[in-house]
Structure 1
Amino acid sequence: MTATQQRTKTNYLLGFCRIFTGLLFIFSGFIKANDPTGFGYKLQEYFEVFHLTAFNEYATAIAVVICGFEILLGALLLLGVYANTVAWGLLLLILFFTFLTFYSAFFEVVTSCGCFGDAIPLTPWQSFSKDLVLLALILIIFFNRKQLRSIIKGSGNQFVATVITAIISLGIGIYTVNYLPFIDFLPYKVGNNLPSLMVLPEGKQGDLFEQIYTMKNKKTGETKKVNDKVYMADKLWEDESWEIIGEPESKLVKKGYDIPIPDLLITDADGADHTQEIIANPYYNLVIVAKDLSSTNIDAIQKINQAAIQLTKDYNGLRVVLLTASASKDAQYLSDKMQLIAEIFYADLIPLKSMVRANPGVLLLKGGNVVGKWHYNNFPDAKTIEDKFLSKDK
């Protein structure tokens, strides 16, 4: 192979790595920037693992910056702007991500890396494999970074392009934090029927587990592990020389269908279950989700409450409830202080985080269907809700 042919081959390889890596970084950044609040929750899991809980308060802000940085690096790589700096940035970022995904996979501390948000869930080992491929591509870019040429001429134009790209990259995340994701990949999105997502569909099978027993021979002291099938088939309980020690272990044999909403339980202050009563109500339910009352936006609660009062006057069939993971005494105190019209119910923090990426946020349900969903920043007035939804049933 001649030197010219070798250079041509290298240029083609570098071009492929540049385009593929750039587009993948932009895609990954956009997916996470679509829901930086959710990515922030994932970062909090990593903070817990590495004992960095002091950063939990800033998780969403950090998420916005990371998403923006990914988009920026991907865009600048495609443009060829500041090639040396971008190559270093890509290398450092992928080394960091590779370490995190390997640590998560090897020690089984975080079950999903969040690389592509909730749009494309990946296991830690899948994420680690993806990062190894990216690392190989980025190493090619890094060692050939001097050959990268900018498609934008002039240092001034390059600077302007970088600033504009950075503003757009950060702006996407800032917008979605304050006005909900552009695309909702979670089970509580508008159009979904919640009761149907809480049960195993017909024809689907859930996870298949087996029980593992640790058996000890009373005479010899020998121990062995047997599964429940062997235990039953060999009738080991009839053999008095063997006994079960410790608690049985549950082992996943076959992965089955994951129920989209497996963990939603709505209770009152006394612990009585009201889940189906609220979720499957055939009439309209205005559900205010204030997952944590200590950090919720009080002014927004007041605004929503005023709209709810007006709506219940104009539409008798509307039920207003507030869901929170806070203590009942805190919820009751807030209700009394603000004279809330909503009935107070309680749910675990995890499903409330998935329900709406706002504190507070609002869902409008009818017959178990999500017909409306809002961040408190874009919650409409009572007349808009009545005209768009309630008036149709009068």
Structure 2
Amino acid sequence: MEIDKKHIIRKVWVNACRFLLGGVFVFSGFVKAIDPFGTFYKLQDYLSAFGLSGWFPPSLVFLGAILLAALEFCVGVYLFLGIRKTWSVWMALLLMAVMTPLTLYLAIADPVSDCGCFGDAWILTNWETFGKNVVLLIASLSVFYWRKDIIRFITRKIEWVFSMYTILFVFALSVYCQHNLPIIDFRPYKVGVNIKQAMEIPEGAKPSVYDTRFILEKDGVKKEFSLEDYPDNTWTFVEARTVLKEKGYEPPIHDFSMLSVETGEDITEKVLTDEGYTFLLVAHRIEQADDSNIDLINEIYDYSVEHGYGFYALTSSTEEDILQWRDRTGAEYPFCQTDDIALKTMIRSNPGMFLLKNGTILHKWSDGNLPDEYALYDSLDKIPVGQEEFVSLWHTMGKVLLWFIVPLCLVLAVDILVIKRREKRIGHVKTDGELVERKK
């Protein structure tokens, strides 16, 4: 009796750990899959922190970002369903055995402020991440040691359908979000946000102190300047970066600014308080931007000029790179310097485009989904493009569940109604046959 109680307790514990691991891995893999560029940027941060940024080409790092998301998502789904048990428990233990000491180092040395485990969906401090990983390591050890007690929900004959569909789904999701934009936007620059309001600090709150520094070059000499002592246009812009000097209340958006390349003037307030429409072309590194749709971008600029709308290109590239872009594409729109990290946060496309009205984000487009002449057939106040895009978390999640859960539920129904019944019937036939043989 005592042995049975221990077995039940062990079985409950193992399956509770299995569901915990499965849920965390599914969530972690999903938020990485819908934002492959965000995962790519975080991996680059890791490589830079460890001095390895020059070892791997960006294309290989981006592939690693997609593979990591797929690995975590598949491990989570397999653990949750109790399929591919040997592979999934080994991979869960291996991931936690690597990540736990790594996050301990991050917590102590703090080379990267956020581990990026859950993308922008749930930001943890390095010590919180280490604590979370200790719990998951204990769970993975329990699941690995007592993996025979994991309850299987899918028969072996049909588990290959679930495993293959899971792989295809997560890769298709990553490719879709890479070509378009993340289907769920967890960043502060989402549709419907008023940028100016998101930069404000509540009354009485102590603000964080940031220092924006500009690296400029003249006669082969590079020098660092602040906004207060920004020099004349005889200096050539090289780089801009925002540094946290003193931690305080941090508004959702804290590093957005627009510094005109032509005049050196800060036009942030002017743009964000403009009651009309403003197009923002965002290219964090203009020399790396895709120029395959440049004709469409120029057409949108011409459309904005024709109707009296604002149009600015935001980049962190040098004036030389901007000049080369203009020569290559025939761009006539004005450029502004903006912090590189802010631009990467704004949109996961290089280039991408925003439509603002009075500082509120109405639309976001990736380079492959820019509005054409068929969408911009009249002034913005008279067409759908000029209205705020409808974005619903529940609507999006419903679509995801429709594409992932419903097909698997259909397969599960076949598994339960056909395969398991057939196995039971075969089992009964074998049992009856054995009884007949014994009687003989």
Q: Is the contact made by 1:194 and 1:368 (CA closer than 8 Å) also made in structure 2? A: yes
Indicate the residue corresponding to 1:162 in structure 2: 163
Tell me what 2:182 maps to: 181
Alignment partners' CA distance in 1, 2:131 and 2:43: 20
CA contact (8 A) 2:75 2:91 kept: yes
Question: 1:271 and 2:277 equivalent?
Answer: no
**1:338-363 Cα shifts (integer Å, max 9, x gaps):** 22242112112111111111000000
SS in 2 for 1:297: coil
Distance, in Å, in 2 between the alignment partners of 1:122 and 1:176 is 24
Question: Is the CA contact (8 Å cut-off) linking 2:278 and 2:311 kept in structure 1?
Answer: yes
Query: Could you report, residue by residue, the CA deviation over 1:288-336 in whole angstroms, capped at 9, with x for unpaired residues?
Result: 11111221111123322223323433x2x21211111111122123224
Instruction: Tell me which residue corresponds to 1:376.
Output: 367
Post-superposition offset of 1:56? 5.6
- Separation of aligned partners in 1, 2:253 and 2:83: 45
CA contact (8 A) 1:288 1:323 kept: yes
* 1:198 equivalent in structure 2: 199
SS at match of 1:372: strand
SS in 1 for 2:174: helix
Cα–Cα, structure 1 residues 124 and 305, in superposed 2: closer, same or farther, change >3 Å? same
1:21-40 map, 5 Å = 21-40=21-40
Deviation at 1:207, TM superposition (A): 4.6
Asked if 1:323 corresponds to 2:314, the answer is yes
Residue 96 of structure 1 is matched in structure 2 by 98
Q: In structure 2, what is the Cα distance between the partners aligned to 1:196 and 1:293?
A: 28
Q: Distance in 2 between matches of 1:386 and 1:63?
A: 39
SS at match of 1:8: helix
Count of paired positions:
348
Q: CA deviation at 1:60?
A: 2.8
Write the distance in 2 (CA, Å) between the matches of 1:251 and 1:381. Answer: 44
Alignment of 1:40-51 (within 5 A): 40-51=40-51
Identical-pair percentage:
34
Q: Match of 2:56, SS?
A: helix
Q: How far is the alpha carbon of 1:388 from its aligned partner?
A: 9.0
CA distance in 1, matches of 2:245, 2:353: 39
Corresponding residue number in structure 2 for 1:261? 253
- TM-score, normalised to structure 1, is 0.83
In the aligned structure 2, how far is the partner of 1:382 from the partner of 1:319? 18
**Cα distance in 1 between the residues matched to 2:334 and 2:207:** 35
Partner of 1:242: none
**Does structure 2 conserve the Cα–Cα contact (< 8 Å) formed by 1:308 and 1:382?**
no
Q: Which moved more, 1:67-76 or 1:34-43?
A: 34-43
1:280 deviates by 2.5
State the 1:142 CA deviation.
0.4
Name the residue aligned to 1:349. Answer: 340
| 2:313 partner SS | strand
Whole-Å separation in 1 of the counterparts to 2:312 and 2:245: 40
Distance 1:261 1:251 in 2: 16
Contact 2:316 2:339 (8 Å CA) reproduced: yes
Which residue does the alignment assign to 2:355? 364
- Pairwise mapping of residues 184-333 of structure 1 onto structure 2 (< 5 A)? 184-207=185-208, 256-269=248-261, 270-313=263-306, 315=307, 317-333=308-324
- For structure 1, the residue ranges without an aligned partner over 5 or more in a row are 210-249
Q: Which of residues 105, 108, 117 is equivalent to 1:106?
A: 108
Contact residue 208 and residue 245 of structure 2 kept, 8 A? no
**TM-score of the superposition, structure 2-length normalised?**
0.74
- Judged with a 3 Å threshold, the aligned counterparts in structure 2 of structure 1 residues 342 and 89 are, in CA distance, closer, same or farther, namely same
Alpha-carbon shift at residue 47 of structure 1 (Å): 0.6
Q: Which deviates the most, 17-26 or 255-264?
A: 255-264
Residues 101-135 of structure 1: per-residue CA shift (max 9 Å, x gap): 11111111111111111121100000000000001
Q: Structure 2: which 5+ residue stretches go unaligned?
A: 211-243, 387-440
Amino acid corresponding to residue 325 of structure 1 in structure 2: S
Work out the CA distance in 2 between the residues paired with 1:260 and 1:171.
31
Are the aligned partners of 1:311 and 1:386 in contact in 2 as well (CA < 8 Å)?
Answer: no
Amino acid at match of 2:125: T
Q: Residues 249-284 of structure 1, C-alpha deviation per residue, up to 9 Å, x if partnerless?
A: x996xx642122222221122532122222332211
Secondary structure of the 1:265 match is coil
CA contact (8 A) 2:35 2:174 kept: yes
CA distance in 1, matches of 2:300, 2:122: 37
Q: Which residue of 1 aligns with 2:430?
A: none
1:144 CA drift (Å)? 0.7
State the distance in 2 between where 1:251 and 1:302 align. 42
In structure 2, distance between residues paired with 1:132 and 1:302: 52
Find the aligned partners of 2:324 and 2:88 in 1 and give their Cα distance.
53
Kindly indicate whether the alpha-carbon contact (under 8 Å) linking 2:259 and 2:337 is maintained by their aligned counterparts in 1: yes
Deviations 1:52-94 (A, max 9, x none): 2133613332112111111100101112112111111000111
* Equivalence for 2:423: none
**Structure 1 residues 301, 201: CA separation in 2 closer, same or farther (over 3 Å shift)?**
farther
